[in-house]
Amino acid sequence: MNWFGGKKKKPAASTTSSGAKGGSADPQATIVKLREAISTQEKREAHIQRKMDALTTEAKAKMAKKDKKGAMYTLKRKKLHEQELDKIQNVKMTLETQVFNLESASQNANTFQAMKSGTSAMKKIRTDVGIEKVDDMMDDIREEMEMANEISDAIAQPVDPLLADEDDLLAELEELEAADVEEELTKEPKKHETIDLPAVPSAKLPELQKDEAEELRKLEAELAGL
């Protein structure tokens, strides 16, 4: 309550709100805004250049009319536009420098994030695959290979139940051979066996027929004449 009858004035609102959000931190959005500002400056630059060209034409026309004072005034106006044009070019250079630096910084930030992700991935891999774990794994591999070789050797062994008694079998075979030799040496020789020959016929052989006897005589005579 105001004791002097006037209304109590409310405190002026702060120009900055504590809840207000700061500017956009997105580099790409900022680059877009900067390029839009450059485009605006280029349009303004083109507009001023057209005015300067028009003033140059106007000054020449006044000089042709011997209006030296008017031509001087026109050139002064042109100089003002030239100064403004220089300012615009400086602003453009500043904006383009900001774009260049921001693009470079954004690229560096992306590179940093990529390198950071790579480092984190390498740390995780190193944690998951430590030197002790690698040594244990190699020991397991060697143990499994030795076990596999033992199993392979066991499978390759013959399953003949008499293989272990092979020496005894060879000794028994030698005894049998020696017994056969001894039996051959002590065996009595066999008696000569008689061969039954057919009996000589006692009857008189039949005489040859007459024709056969005649042919036989002729053959004997031919043989004698040779």
Question: What would the pLDDT profile of 49-66 be if each residue is shown by its tens digit?
Answer: 999 999 999 989 988 888
Q: What is residue 26's predicted lDDT score, i.e. its pLDDT? A: 84
Question: What would the pLDDT profile of 123-179 be if each residue is shown by its tens digit?
Answer: 888 788 778 888 888 888 999 999 998 898 888 776 665 555 667 767 777 778 877
Q: Which pTM was predicted? A: 0.44
- 172-183: buried (b, 16+ CB within 10 Å) or exposed (e) per residue? eeeeeeeeeeee
CA dihedral (63, 66, 68, 72) in degrees, to 10, reads: -20
Q: Which residue has the tokens 């008189």?
A: 204
Say whether domain 27-125 belongs to CATH 1.10.287: yes
